[in-house]
Amino acid sequence: MYRLERVATSERNWKVSVSRRVEYMSGMKNESVVLFPNPKDGTWKQRQLPYTAWDFFPPAYDCPFEMERVGNFGDGGKWICGISQYAAFKERPLIVYSFGVDEDSSFEAELVDRTSAYIYAFDYSVDKMGPEVANGTNVKFSKIGLGGHDETIDGNQFMTLPSIMSELGHDYVDILKIDIEGAEFDALDVLMETYNGSNLPFGQIMIEFHLWAAPQNIRDLVAWWERLERFGLRPVAQESNPLGVILGPGYPCCYEYVLINTRDNKSILQL
């Protein structure tokens, strides 16, 4: 009963957050408001945009269980909702898709160690998983990139998520991890188009958004995010990536999110 009450409270809190977003945006006079204020626009009080794009998408929904960070500190580790539930589930192997492994497989290694997960890992930019996990021990690596089309670019193979699931014979993924340097927008567009009118085929997603590939004004970005929300996705965690500022374009381009699928009747979290 407590968990059901917590879920109901989370949905109410999320709706309040959305209503505040709508109210704030209704007062915007500029139809093409940029994602980040320009530091050259004067003093703080003189700036007309005292926010960043990320402020429009707070983690207003609570995970109904614990939140725990899995994997290495810093880049490579990921927050996950309810890992205790996944660890306790023994009826079948968990299906996990991990897109973008680079040279750090600490997240995947810990999942394999703590749960019954079978992980399908994909990355066109490397030839194998990181040293933390061996290919073949509940992990299958494929040198394939996730994208918005099934195609080959410069000798690299890319596939959509629906195509990959069909090829592997899966109709459901328990945990979906995506860190693909901006291609996430096209990949999710295809997924939402494919499953329009039905539920998305995963329980939760941990994803890093890279805003250099996003719609470049607030209104368009919010409209895109609202499509995720209409599918029942709710943000339960948000983490900045300061390396994107220090080593990247010099602005907060990149944020990690965890979103749970509240309409998923197959979820081990059983919302």
Q: Would you tell me how many other CB atoms lie within 10 Å of the CB of residue 232?
A: 15
d(CA 227, CA 252): 23
Domain hosting residue 200, numbered range: 2-261
**Is residue 201 in some structural domain?**
yes
**Is residue 270 in some structural domain?**
no
DSSP 171: S
Q: Which of 14, 111, 62, 114 has its CA nearest to residue 269?
A: 62
d(CA 119, CA 136): 10
For 114, counting Cβ atoms within 10 Å of its Cβ (0-12 exposed, 13-18 middle, 19+ buried), the class is middle
**Is residue 243 in some structural domain?**
yes
**Is residue 202 in some structural domain?**
yes
pLDDT tens per residue, the chain (271 residues)?
567 888 899 999 999 999 999 998 888 776 667 787 766 665 555 455 678 899 999 999 999 999 999 988 877 889 999 999 999 999 999 999 999 987 889 999 999 999 999 999 999 999 988 878 876 679 999 999 999 999 999 999 999 999 999 999 999 999 999 999 889 999 999 999 999 989 999 999 999 999 988 888 899 999 999 999 999 999 999 999 877 777 777 778 899 999 999 999 999 997 5
**Is residue 269 in some structural domain?**
no
Q: Token pair of 172, please?
A: 């459901």
Query: What's the CATH number where 18 sits?
Result: 3.40.50
* Structural element, H or E, at residue 169: none
Rounded to whole angstroms, what are the CA distances from 228 to 120, 168, 193, 196, 263? Answer: 24, 25, 11, 11, 12
Alpha helix ranges (H) inside the chain? 2-26, 83-88, 106-114, 161-168, 184-194, 218-230, 243-246
Judged by DSSP in three states, 218 sits in: helix
Domains: count for the chain? 1
Q: Is the model's pTM score more than 0.85? A: yes
